[in-house]
A and B are shown apart, each in its own frame.
Chain A
């Protein structure tokens, strides 16, 4: 039942021999210590476990690790070290986006994905971009404003 699965994780080639049906979130958290990938709902509803799979945002709780074979994965651990990631994190910190923090790595990923595809979004576009990520603490407003701040501060960076 086990098979060898190879993928790129945050820019490094990694491999693991495991049951390909294990959830990607479990492999990332347990085998690769990516503890910033959070589990909020286990059914693809909350977005806390969001990652980028070949540059697309997906929820890692409903993806079997076998699907990652040969693919590129970025988690919050990788994103936060990038220039774009740093701009987002700074904006979130200054904009008051963070409360309990459990949804926040997923929100940072969603922001990265949104701004990479739409460098200057309107408020409605931001709200749409974050709509797959549930936050119970903030009421979203300051996250939305922080995304706007990240767009402004990042400027040209988002067009790269």
Chain B
């Protein structure tokens, strides 16, 4: 099939084989006579390991710990920060922290032995919540204040705004843990081969794994080859976490001199994997006598857990997005990454942005409602435009099509009429949210840190292979990239080969994360295909290579966080309509409408699917996805008590797009995988608050919480707490 208009949908290349069940995920490989591994983990949130009592080990079974590292081996996982140990040594900081790995030939025997391992601890008082972390409950265990990381941003003169204000209001907005529930649980296998090791893993970022775990055996990254296996969903949960799975496997394979594999079951995966950071954002907003915003101060606290790993970057993105789609006269934001004794939080679709966007959207609704103004009317006073200053004192480079998107959503949802007709507290409500997501790595990170490279190889038979490290995890990249190459070269897409990456044969084009794959690597492929095109008919067997080049004239300082954080944002508008049962507090969602700007879409159907999935995942986060942790243990440990949306829970979505070609993306495309998550929870909560007439400050919002707000909540019109 020759690709027509780039946006017109084509069949995904992996659709039929996935339907038939013939695509292999990591648990579908046999891996010959591999051993089984099972992690032995801390059962307490905080303390010291005093002794480990092992049962008698049958032949061929072994318990592997940090003591088995070779001379020169470094017992840390080299993520963005290098503070997360592969194996706990003396101290444990969270329930589920890896202490060792039990390995042996028979899976059941391994499990049986694992259960017999007894560990004596000296327990210490854990700090579990953000507040407990800040209060250094049980004594600080990171620095002297439990603050893993911090940053601050300032635009304009906030202090002056507070001096001039007629009124200063303050409130705190909170969000909870969210579990990824990729349908395929974590799993990997490590096999020794000649002078190196081969890892097969369900993951997003094969090169991250090599880099992160090779120091365990004092090896260079090229000695740990990662072969990506088709991944059954990831959403950020397989960005760094596979390092935690693969590290112990590598050490076990080294000790046993044999392949070792490990497939988590669901309960193990939910209890012992990273989550979305819980957040607490406290605003202090200066208003003039008419209620206009003069300045906004925010303290953004994220629950980082026991180790920092990637969280500073998550927190940065959170703070950069704390002004949402708005431009306020002055802002200040302080971000704090709080150490607690919970499983370290990590990447999850949106990477820190959803929390602050939810917070600012909700805060603006509350101010508007206090003033008796329609939230949409109030928010629209502050919509950011091209050329306006961002939260990092950069400028918005592109045209912002919020007005056009808003028109689409208003028309589809009948917002104006419903917003007037459904009185606050009437049991019906419509809500609306605005959101964005900066595409790719922040600032010049793509150039300074990632340095992506990509190759195209033409074979004598006319086939073209794409060589890069991007992974397919459901988002459709195995279709998107070949589509771009085929389109430029004018060849059928069947002639373009794109395999799961193997780090020993592809260049490092960076992680499959940060909504960067289409925007950045897609552009590398487009450019490479353009280089190949004039030679395609003349030459038989050759390779072209492209490197990322950052556009000139958009400075960024990663030390001060000043400048152009993102050149291309995705933008979104979402409306949600609900009805609340006055007796049971049950919510029925009557409609969901969204419009998104992802530049010029590469494939409308793939974009449509991303919108549907992201919006629904955001609605789950805002409503039923309760993941509690009050004593260091996650309370929800299965899919029957952690409730994600089914096909019955929400109605069909109205999906709209605007076309806003991005000059530096392939065919004008920008990132969108995370954008589509960022706003639906805020629209939903806006709708529910209006329906019940109460101010909602916290998500998730299961039915019992709705009831709670209905009975004890604060009226939407009441004054927000004032401070000076």
Contact = CB atoms under 8 A, between A and B. Distances in A.
B11 interface: yes
A14 interface: no
A104 B18 contact: yes
A94 B606 CA distance: 11
B14 A96 contact: no
A135 B265 contact: no
Interface residues of A, number: 51
A45 B21 CA distance: 19
A80 interface: yes
B16 A89 contact: yes
Contact of B639 (A37, A45, A123, A130): A45
Nearest to A111: B19
B12 A96 contact: yes
Interface stretch (B94-102, B339-347, B612-620): B612-620
Secondary structure dominating the interface of B: loop
B609 interface: yes
Interface string B254-290: 0000000000011100000000000000000000000
A48 B185 CA distance: 12
Nearest to A34: B21
A48 B18 CA distance: 12
B652 A144 contact: yes
Nearest to A139: B612
Contacts of A97: 15
A137 B647 contact: no
B183 A103 contact: yes
Contact of A92 (B19, B611, B614): B19
Interface string B91-124: 0000000000000000000000000000000000
Contacts of B583: none
A38 B21 contact: yes
Given A80-B20, A101-B14, A101-B23, A96 B639 contact: no
A24 interface: no
A32 to B, nearest CB: 13
A35 B12 CA distance: 21
Interface residues of B, number: 57
A105 B21 contact: yes
Nearest to A145: B652
A46 B640 CA distance: 9
Best-surrounded residue of B230, B639, B653 (most CB of chain A within 10 A):
B639
A89 B19 contact: yes
Given A40-B266, A100-B474, A135 B183 contact: yes
B21 A36 contact: yes
Given A35-B28, A42-B265, A102 B639 contact: no
B183 A48 contact: yes
A127 B474 contact: no
Contacts of A92: 15, 19
B475 interface: yes
Contacts of A101: 14, 18-19, 23, 230, 232, 474
Given A39-B27, A42-B266, A105-B19, 15 more contacts: A35-B22, A36-B21, A38-B183, A41-B638, A76-B20, A77-B20, A77-B21, A80-B19, A93-B11, A96-B608, A104-B19, A134-B181, A136-B617, A139-B650, A140-B616
Interface of A: 34-43, 45-46, 48, 75-77, 80, 88-89, 92-94, 96-105, 108, 123, 126-128, 130-131, 133-144
Interface of B: 9, 11-12, 14-16, 18-25, 27-28, 180-185, 230-235, 265-267, 473-476, 605-606, 608-609, 611-617, 638-640, 644-648, 650, 652-653
19 contacts: A35-B24, A37-B21, A38-B232, A39-B27, A40-B183, A41-B638, A43-B266, A93-B15, A93-B19, A96-B609, A100-B18, A100-B232, A105-B18, A137-B474, A137-B609, A139-B614, A139-B645, A142-B608, A142-B609
